[in-house]
Chain A
Amino acid sequence: MMSEVPEEVIQGRKILNELKKGDWPNFVREAEKTRYPVDLYGASLALKRDLFTTGGYVSVPGAPTGILMRVTSRPDIGENANIVRVLIPSGNFLTSDMLDTLCELADKYGVGMIHGISTGEDVEIPGIPKEKIRDFITELRQRGFECGSTGDAFRAVTTCVGSLLCEYSNLNTAEFRDSFYDKYNDFAKFPTFPHKVKVKVSGCPIDCGRATQKADIGIVGSWKGAPEVNQSLISKMDSEKLDNIIRSCPTGAISRHGSGISIKGEDCTQCMICVRNSGGAISQGREKQYLIYAGGKLRGKKGPLSGKLFTKVNSIEEAMNLIGTMVDIYGEQAARKERMGDLMFRIGMKNFLDLMKTKPQAHNAKDLRTNIFYSVNGEERERMPEEIKKAVGGE
């Protein structure tokens, strides 16, 4: 006997038929090739209501992070919604063998679907029934993968492509990510922080890795002073093109000297505009420095906040150690479920820097305050005049 098909499923199928049209790669067409409950998705579109809730709990030894439990509120239409997140190698390169292995596992345990890459830059295998999760993770481990990147731990560290494919990179981001996991894997695996901590790494200030925008701790490779100029390439350059490069500098640091150019180091803001437009004639400087950004986030209390420049360091090791120091203090000071950005917003940049035992510098302030309702404590009342006298005189 045929069981009756619910009205919303019939409506949903109509909607999905419309959605399947078009030349662009289509996720509904892809989903129909798998055992994913397409009817459930159609029904939620027809009802304009999300039919999943988080729920359930499964304990897998050695896998405290990496599992997302989902329950459908309409098990009569479809189920099997748990997701396992799989960490991928640095630089996001996956070999064909790895892809085939993931496909095999997704067919065996899941619904035959792979979430190619999420915006958090990990691969997700959806649709694993609760009773199979343990076996799945065991086999995943045996085949050389690791799950992770959920909960209040370090989420998957994401990087731009860096030195692997890009000439602008000041930092081998893939190598950095590898050594990050050598050092901090425990904190990535076990959820010990007040809320999630996202670390993102970009090789240069163009910031393809989004380290300044949505990372709790962002690391950007940069340099000190003026960029390197290849004068012989500059002298061969089309005069109009050279003029454009000189004009495009936002601080006017570039000036012409005969057939060559010179760039004033103290005026350079390392914005990369001239480097990008010169086709190799201007390249980033030799003396590297690394900018640490803190407090970028999208979700939660104060809405999206972009990261603030926290400090500048001179070596990769310093940057790596600073990550540990920052999350230590964040773990002590933040309220539960408070992201680093919210903590900074709540207590203010000065107090945040004091907590982090970092001396406030002018580069920390995007703009200065317009009111004078702050407090100056006794120690500061002593120290400030002394320092000012030392700097500019005035007995």
Chain B
Amino acid sequence: MEGPARPYTNFIPPYLKESVGKWKTHKVLEPGIIEHLDTSGNKIYTVRVASTPNGRYSTETMRKISAIARKYAGASMRFTGGINMEFVTKDLNDAISLKTEMEDLGFPIGGWDGHLWNMTSCAGYFHCALAATDAPSILQNLANNLGKYFNKEELPAKLTISSSGCPSSCGNSFLTDISISGIHTEIPIVTPEVSKCDLQGTAYTCPVGAIQLKQLPDGSRTLEIRANLCIGCGLCVGACGGIIFETPEKTDGHAISIGGKAVPSRVGTTLGRVVVPYLPNEPPYYKKTVAVVTRIIETWKKDARKGERIADWVDRIGWESFYEKTGLPFYGQSMEYLDVRGMMTLRDGGTR
């Protein structure tokens, strides 16, 4: 059969099959263990387990996880969209034993209701060709510092954190309550090495058409980047070794945005807003980044009403008050570009 293995019923725990689509209620027994009840009175328990910040496991660890699933969770487990792991057990005792075994393996259980739910990261320097900042190591530091919110200390509402190495936002930046996104503050330059690349193909990767083919007096061809159009996304740098950021160690960094969420309650579905436009990359501890994120979370925790996500809280108090309360400095880059409704729309709709 082509495509992914299916039907899904072959892969779920056997005791789950008869309850699919017949759920009635759920109850959070403790952070990370949830009891589900279906209409015919069957009960199952879901255990949510945190993963490594970038979701990479050694096969050694993965085999142990697989054995734990075989022992307690109907020989099956699922990965969530927030790169956590979830195990479904038939019995509460199994869930508790599973919790103990996973904790012994070094993976905490938690994340429900007013807690830190999930942390997602892209590959960063670990595997990717486009990274402006190393997303996983930033998230590792944040996790080490904020792990207490996963299952111990309570927050006003759900909290999600993400970290992406570049503006492509593969780590779910802008979708989560707090997002770190790598940015290139300078535009790339074209070196003579560019002649080794597929010039047409490289020019095509540019999302704004800022790269032009250019013929030199000797008849050879090169590329030219139009600085006024370039948005510094870095896609061409990944496509061709001849286009580089000259001094990424000095100019690359990351921005912090807050307030993304999917749930339509209160302010509705929103994307994150940039509150800190630039911070330098300072491995291994990224102390400034951790300090800013901690300050935002602590201010939110102190000031928000129960059930208010960060976006709802900011909507209520306003941005001016947000900067006052957190003590963060404000920079002009955070401001929205001109309202496109009135200024930029063309006569037949759309924009330039």
Contact = CB atoms under 8 A, between A and B. Distances in A.
Given A99-B65, A100-B63, A299-B169, A345 B83 contact: no
Nearest to B348: A375
Nearest to A156: B4
Interface stretch (B47-55, B214-222, B314-322): B47-55
A54 B239 contact: yes
Interface in A328-360: 336-338, 342, 345-351
Interface stretch (B120-128, B292-300, B324-332): B120-128
Given A27-B53, A96-B70, A188 B3 contact: yes
A95 B208 contact: no
A374 B347 contact: yes
A371 B24 contact: no
Contacts of B12: 91, 93, 164
Given A24-B50, A96-B76, A118-B55, A351 B349 contact: yes
Contacts of B175: 210, 213-214, 298
B69 interface: yes
Interface in A242-262: 250
Interface stretch (A81-89, A131-139, A310-318): A81-89
Given A18-B285, A31-B58, A113-B59, A346 B350 contact: yes
Question: Which of A51, A166, A167, A205 is most buried by chain B, counting CB atoms within 10 A of its CB?
Answer: A167
Interface string B130-170: 11101011001101100100000000000000000101111
B107 interface: yes
Given A117-B55, A210-B81, A175 B8 contact: yes
Interface in B263-299: 263-266, 269-272, 281, 283-285
Nearest to B147: A24
B59 A34 contact: yes
Contact of B264 (A21, A50, A188, A206): A206
Contacts of B65: 99
A92 interface: yes
A187 to B, nearest CB: 11
Contacts of A166: 23, 26
B187 interface: no
Given A213-B175, A300-B207, A94 B11 contact: yes
Nearest to B139: A27
Contacts of A167: 23-26, 36
Given A116-B79, A214-B175, A73 B241 contact: yes
Interface string B251-273: 01000000010111110011110
A93 B24 CA distance: 22
Contacts of B206: 337
B129 A112 contact: no
Nearest to B170: A119
Interface in A154-191: 156, 158, 160-161, 163-167, 169, 172, 174-175, 177-178, 181-182, 185, 188-189
Given A119-B170, A250-B265, A95 B59 contact: no
A49 B50 CA distance: 29
A25 B241 contact: no
Nearest to B71: A96
Q: How large is the interface on B (under 10, 10 to 19, 20 to 34, 35 or more residues)?
A: 35 or more
B269 A213 contact: yes
A338 B148 CA distance: 42
A301 B23 CA distance: 42
Interface in A8-43: 15-16, 18-19, 21-28, 30-31, 33-34, 41
B6 interface: yes
A92 B350 contact: no
Interface in B93-131: 106-108, 120, 122, 125-131
Contact of B238 (A53, A160, A177, A337): A53
Contacts, number: 367
A121 interface: yes
B2 interface: yes
Contacts of B137: 19, 45
B147 to A, nearest CB: 5
A268 to B, nearest CB: 12
Contacts of B130: 50
Given A33-B58, A113-B59, A272-B264, A348 B248 contact: no
B334 interface: no
Given A89-B5, A345-B351, A30 B61 contact: yes
Contacts of A34: 58-59
A32 B340 CA distance: 50
B333 interface: no
Contacts of A300: 207, 233
B89 interface: no
B88 interface: yes
Contacts of B120: 119
Given A306-B269, A347-B350, A26 B341 contact: no
B342 interface: yes
A112 B58 contact: yes
Given A45-B284, A298-B174, A347 B349 contact: yes
A212 interface: yes
Given A116-B83, A213-B271, A351 B350 contact: yes
A146 B345 CA distance: 45
A52 B346 CA distance: 41
B2 A90 contact: no
A269 B186 CA distance: 45
Contact of B5 (A146, A163, A375): A146
Contacts of B346: 348
Interface string B301-312: 000000000000
Contacts of B285: 18
Contacts of A117: 51, 55, 79-80, 83
B20 interface: yes
Contacts of A73: 241
Contacts of A305: 271
B144 to A, nearest CB: 4
A271 B8 contact: no
Contacts of A209: 81
Contacts of B125: 41, 44-45, 50-52
A25 B50 contact: yes
Given A164-B16, A212-B269, A345-B351, 7 more contacts: A24-B140, A98-B11, A163-B20, A182-B6, A214-B175, A306-B270, A348-B351
6 contacts: A19-B141, A48-B249, A117-B79, A337-B204, A337-B205, A369-B341
Shortest 9 CB-CB contacts between residues of A and residues of B: A348-B349, A22-B144, A167-B23, A117-B79, A348-B350, A87-B4, A33-B58, A48-B249, A298-B169
